[in-house]
């Protein structure tokens, strides 16, 4: 690089002050490539060093920062296997013992030597072994060159950044301070002035500076809750950019290539409605009205239908698909697994046969000759409705005239797969279905470019499902409950998380559980179902269970969605602590489909994490899918929920969907106003926003083709 070049936000980190080649590699591990990356790399917490305590001032139970000198350090053994590393720190007024139970012995021995000055932050507890004095476990530590250096790190609020081995907080903080000093003046504002005023936002440059270097008067509680003026500005900014991208994408899709306007309520629909032995629910009628209104337009439908387990989505999908077929077009239903595709096929088959609709199942497990025959029927148009998995988006699958695609459990697919299916027809209508109730904050974020409708009413006759939690030492009690149900003539599912033994974890495998049940209850008719069985064998077992010939079905999570057996009243889930909350709720929804009261038994194994316990407690407390979804979001956080990483959306740096949900709706409203007034972002005042959008979202939301 030339001497003293003019700084640019695109400068590589290697050339930043205090970095160099070796530290640049460490920064790369943190995802930091340029000066701009560093400007946006914000602290994840803060330490209040406005008051450094003397050791004599420390009290049990408080979290405090104090300094001192190492007087002793070394390895201690507690029994045969357990060991810890202990450092004794003194400051002339008293002493504290710092302890680590997870450590690298060589590193600790080299770093903690007698005479080393330290600054420590942590929660003080009474020494559990001596019964007197204070100790701190796994404290945050900063190594000081000497006691005089304490003046440089005290009297202010200190940012703490995510780091990596080889790059300590002191070095990282110095790099960030240099970046703020030299590069922050280059940061430009892009949120329009009217939005800044209406949302009471501080300028972007000020927000970044206050977040990296909090002013002395800043309240630490606000920083901890991400409610300082700087943090709230940056949170709003992320949601605003995201909602701008989604609003532009949605508008673009509504004004792009014309779709096919369909005639609704055709002869196939009328014939189906005459054959149905039951009335549609009010929610089904309401949702179908919206879908039919979409299909009558000359632009492609892009709608998300979400409803709880058993709310009748499959029938809505069938009526939607038959509308396309009534118009001389083909329909496609795509499921995330072959077993679910088979279930959809079996559920649709009686209706299609009665209506004389050509139906095919296209999955990779079929023999090559069958796959080729189906491919030809789809290409010729003989197949009017095809059910499949991701195989439907393969290049060699051609449709005669695909008019409508229904995609089930869409959050398991990436955006690119969904769009690839859409390219099989001339802008086909798309209906996405999910049985996972989505919290409003997540729906507006993940599916902000789609029209969303809900099936919020269960069909009449659905019975409540009681849920109970057991630990493995009470499994016999759970089995006795199953036996009582079997004696009443009912059926049961027993679900396990793995198919075969793993060397790393001691789990009850599906085969072990099956053998154990056969030995304990030889009078039960049991069967084993898992994804490795051949298609014909799986179908045979499922039909026998549906017909009542099999009383207890021991299965992996292949039965998570799709199977409908009204006589099944009991669901036992082994190793329930290993399942996600949404998955547990899906499994529970396999029972309670008939006229009898149903039970879900959760068998957990120790050790169990606090998060796993919270999931099981939520299941016991409620059967409401939307409550479950909110709890899932609270327990797991938003980071990787529902395939967010595959959704085509950026990972949020500051904003948190749970904590900051209140900012999503205002951001959406402001974005809609701008897109409605200036859909191409051509006005001069929107040029900085256009540039920021292209930088932040361009590749993810294909904004290059929109703007």
Structure tokens at 90: 């003194």
Helix residue ranges, H only, 453-509: 475-487
Q: In what order do the strands lie in the sheet with 302-307?
A: 359-362, 385-388, 330-334, 402-408, 429-434, 302-307, 451-455
Looking at residue 641, its pLDDT comes to 42
pLDDT attached to residue 644: 42
Averaged pLDDT, 662-689: 93
Instruction: Tell me the sheet residues that pair with 361.
Output: 387
Tens of pLDDT, residues 234-289: 999 999 998 898 888 778 777 766 778 999 999 999 999 999 988 999 999 999 99
Spatial distance between the Cα atoms of 337 and 359, rounded to a whole number of angstroms: 18
Band (505; pLDDT cuts 50, 70, 90): very low
Distance CA 149, CA 107 (A): 23
Enumerate residues 6+ apart whose C-beta is below 8 A from 621: 627
**Rounded to an integer, what is the distance from CA 228 to the centroid of its chain?**
27
The pTM of the whole model exceeds 0.75: no
Q: Dump pLDDT digits (tens) for 194-204.
A: 999 999 999 99
Pairing type for strands 465-471 and 598-604 reads parallel
CA distance 362 to 538: 16
- Do 576 and 584 touch, CB atoms closer than 8 A? yes
The rounded distance, in Å, linking the Cα atoms of 97 and 113 is: 14
Do the domains spanning 51-154 and 282-296+312-434 agree at the CATH topology level?
no
Q: Which CATH architecture has domain 51-154?
A: Beta Barrel (2.40)
Which of 165-169, 200-204, 276-280, 680-684 has the lowest average pLDDT? 165-169
Peptide bond connecting 607 to the previous residue in cis, omega within 30 degrees of 0: yes
179 or 646: which leads in pLDDT: 179
User: Does the pLDDT at position 560 exceed 60?
Assistant: no
Distance CA 38, CA 177 (A): 10
- Give the pLDDT of residue 642: 39
Say yes or no to pLDDT of 507 above 60: no
pLDDT at 168 over 90: no
pLDDT at residue 564 is higher than 80: no
**CATH code for 282-296+312-434?**
3.40.50.300
Mean pLDDT computed over 90-103: 92
User: Which whole number is the average pLDDT over 155-172?
Assistant: 87
Q: Which segment of 105-119, 361-375, 508-522, 632-646 scores lowest on mean pLDDT?
A: 632-646
Confidence of residue 648 (pLDDT cuts 50, 70, 90): very low
CA distance 331 to 328: 10
Q: Which residues contact 522 (CB under 8 A, 6 or more apart)?
A: none
Say if residue 561's pLDDT is above 70: no
pLDDT of residue 610: 86
**Token digits for 580?**
């996600």
End-to-end CA distance of the chain: 34
Looking at the chain, the whole-number percentage of residues with pLDDT higher than 90 is 50
Q: Which pLDDT band holds residue 673 (cuts at 50, 70, 90)?
A: very high
Pair of tokens at residue 683? 């006005």
Q: What is the pLDDT of residues 20-62, one digit of tens each?
A: 899 999 999 998 999 999 999 999 999 888 888 999 999 998 8
Sheet holding 568-574, edge to edge: 465-471, 598-604, 568-574, 491-495, 552-555, 526-529
What's the confidence (pLDDT) of residue 649? 52
Q: Assess whether pLDDT exceeds 50 at residue 650.
A: yes
Q: What is the mean pLDDT of residues 111-125?
A: 91
Number of H helices, E strands in the chain: 23, 21
Give the lowest-confidence range in 221-230, 256-265, 494-503, 670-679: 494-503
Please tell me the distance from the alpha carbon of residue 434 to that of residue 410, in angstroms, as a whole number.
6
User: Concatenated DSSP letters for 363-398?
Assistant: -TTS-HHHHHHHHHHHHHT--SEEEESGGGGSTT--
- Predicted confidence at residue 302, as pLDDT, reads 84
3-state SS, 409-443, equals CHHHCCHHHHHHHHCCCCCCEEEEEECCCCCHHHH
338-355 and 267-275 helices cross at what angle (nearest 10)? 100
The domain made up of 465-622 has a fold known as Rossmann fold (3.40.50)
Report the 10 Å Cβ neighbour count for 539. 16
Cα separation, 378 vs 399, whole angstroms = 5
Q: Please give the pLDDT value at position 12.
A: 95
Read off the pLDDT band of 645 (50, 70, 90).
very low
> Average pLDDT, stretch 441-461?
72
pLDDT band at 506 (very low <50, low <70, confident <90, very high): very low
> How high is the mean pLDDT of the chain?
85
Higher-pLDDT residue of 439 and 624 is: 624
| Domain residue extents for the chain | 51-154, 282-296+312-434, 465-622
Query: Residue 75's closest CA among 122, 108, 42?
Result: 108
Q: What is the pLDDT of residue 412?
A: 46
Model pLDDT, residue 449? 64
Determine which of 95-99, 343-347, 574-578, 638-642 has the lowest per-residue pLDDT on average: 638-642
pLDDT for the residue 503: 33
CA distance 298 to 251: 14
Give the model confidence (pLDDT) of 407-447 as tens digits: 887 654 445 555 665 566 567 888 988 876 666 666 666 66
Higher pLDDT, 500 or 78: 78
Residues 408-445 as b/e (b if ≥16 CB within 10 A, e otherwise) read: bbbbbbebebbebbbebbebbbbbbbbbbbbbebbbbb
CA distance 34 to 8: 9
Q: Kindly tell me if the per-residue pLDDT of 647 is higher than 50.
A: no
Give the residue-averaged pLDDT of 116-137. 85
- What string of H, E and C letters represents the secondary structure of 263-286? CCCCHHHHHHHHHCCCCCCHHHHH
Reported confidence tier of residue 698, pLDDT bands at 50, 70, 90: low
The three-point CA angle 176-180-183 to 5° equals: 120
- Per DSSP, the residues of 165-176 read TTB-HHHHHHHH
- The answer to whether residue 107 scores a pLDDT higher than 90 is no
- DSSP state letter for 20: H
pLDDT in tens, 477-492: 999 999 999 999 999 9
């Amino acid at each position: 690089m030339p001497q003293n070049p003019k700084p640019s936000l695109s400068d590589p980190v290697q050339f930043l002050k205090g970095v160099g080649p070796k530290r640049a590699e460490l920064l790369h591990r943190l995802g930091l490539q340029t000066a701009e990356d560093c400007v946006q790399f914000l602290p994840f917490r803060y330490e209040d060093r406005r008051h450094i305590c003397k050791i004599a001032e420390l009290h049990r139970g408080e979290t405090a920062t104090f300094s001192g000198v190492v007087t002793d350090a070394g390895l201690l053994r507690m029994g045969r296997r357990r060991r810890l590393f202990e450092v004794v720190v003194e400051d002339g007024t008293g002493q504290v013992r710092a302890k680590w139970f997870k450590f690298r012995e060589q590193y600790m021995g080299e770093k903690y030597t007698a005479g080393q000055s330290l600054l420590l932050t942590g929660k003080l507890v009474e020494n559990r072994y001596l019964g007197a004095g204070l100790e701190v476990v796994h404290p945050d530590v900063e190594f000081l060159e000497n006691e005089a250096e304490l003046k440089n790190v005290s009297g202010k609020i200190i940012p703490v950044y995510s780091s990596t081995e080889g790059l300590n907080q002191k070095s990282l903080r110095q790099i960030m301070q240099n970046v703020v000093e030299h590069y922050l003046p280059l940061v430009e504002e892009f949120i329009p002035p009217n939005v800044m005023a209406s949302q009471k936002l501080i300028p972007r440059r000020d927000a970044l500076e206050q977040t990296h270097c909090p002013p002395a008067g800043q309240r630490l509680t606000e920083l901890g809750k991400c409610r300082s003026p700087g943090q709230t500005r940056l949170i709003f900014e992320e949601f605003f950019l995201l909602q701008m991208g989604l609003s532009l994408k949605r508008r673009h899709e509504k004004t792009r290539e014309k779709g096919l306007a369909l005639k609704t309520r055709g002869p196939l629909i009328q014939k189906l409605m005459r054959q149905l032995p039951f009335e549609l629910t009010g929610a089904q009628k309401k949702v179908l009205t919206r879908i039919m209104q979409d299909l009558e337009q000359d632009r492609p439908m892009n709608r998300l239908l979400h409803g709880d387990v058993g709310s009748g989505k499959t029938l809505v999908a069938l009526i939607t698909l038959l509308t396309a077929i009534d118009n001389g077009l083909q329909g496609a239903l795509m499921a995330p697994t072959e077993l679910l595709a088979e279930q959809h096929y079996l559920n649709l088959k009686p209706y299609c046969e009665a209506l004389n609709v050509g139906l095919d199942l296209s999955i990779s497990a079929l023999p090559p000759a069958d796959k080729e025959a189906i491919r030809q029927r789809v290409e010729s148009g003989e197949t009017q409705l095809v059910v499949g998995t991701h195989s439907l988006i393969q290049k060699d699958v051609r449709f005669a005239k695909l008019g409508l695609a229904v995609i089930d459990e869409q959050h398991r697919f990436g955006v690119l797969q969904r769009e690839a299916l859409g390219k099989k027809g001339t802008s086909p209508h798309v209906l996405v279905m999910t049985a996972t109730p989505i919290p409003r904050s997540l729906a507006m974020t993940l599916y902000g470019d789609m029209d969303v409708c809900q099936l919020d009413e269960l069909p009449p006759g659905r019975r409540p499902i009681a849920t109970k939690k057991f630990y493995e030492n009470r499994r016999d009690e759970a089995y006795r409950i199953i036996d009582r149900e079997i004696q009443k003539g009912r059926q049961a599912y027993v679900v396990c998380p793995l198919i075969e033994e793993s060397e790393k974890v001691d789990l009850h495998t599906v085969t072990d559980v099956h053998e154990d049940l056969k030995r304990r209850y030889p009078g039960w008719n049991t069967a084993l179902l898992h994804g490795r069985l051949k298609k014909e064998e799986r179908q045979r077992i499922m039909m026998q269970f549906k017909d009542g010939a099999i009383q207890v079905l021991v299965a992996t999570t292949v039965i998570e969605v799709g199977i409908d057996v009204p006589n099944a009243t009991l669901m036992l889930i082994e190793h329930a602590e290993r399942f996600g909350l949404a998955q547990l709720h899906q499994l529970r929804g396999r029972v309670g489909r008939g006229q009898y009261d149903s039970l879900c038994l959760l068998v957990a194994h120790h050790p169990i994490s606090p998060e796993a316990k919270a999931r099981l407690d939520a299941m016991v407390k409620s059967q409401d899918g939307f409550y479950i979804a909110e709890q899932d979001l609270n327990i797991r956080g938003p980071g990787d929920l529902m395939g967010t990483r595959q959704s085509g959306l950026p990972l949020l740096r500051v904003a948190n969907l749970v904590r900051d949900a209140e900012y999503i709706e205002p951001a959406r409203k402001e974005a809609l106003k701008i897109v409605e007034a200036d859909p191409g972002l051509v006005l001069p005042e929107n040029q900085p926003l256009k540039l920021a959008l292209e930088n932040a979202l361009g590749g993810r939301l294909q904004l290059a083709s929109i703007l």
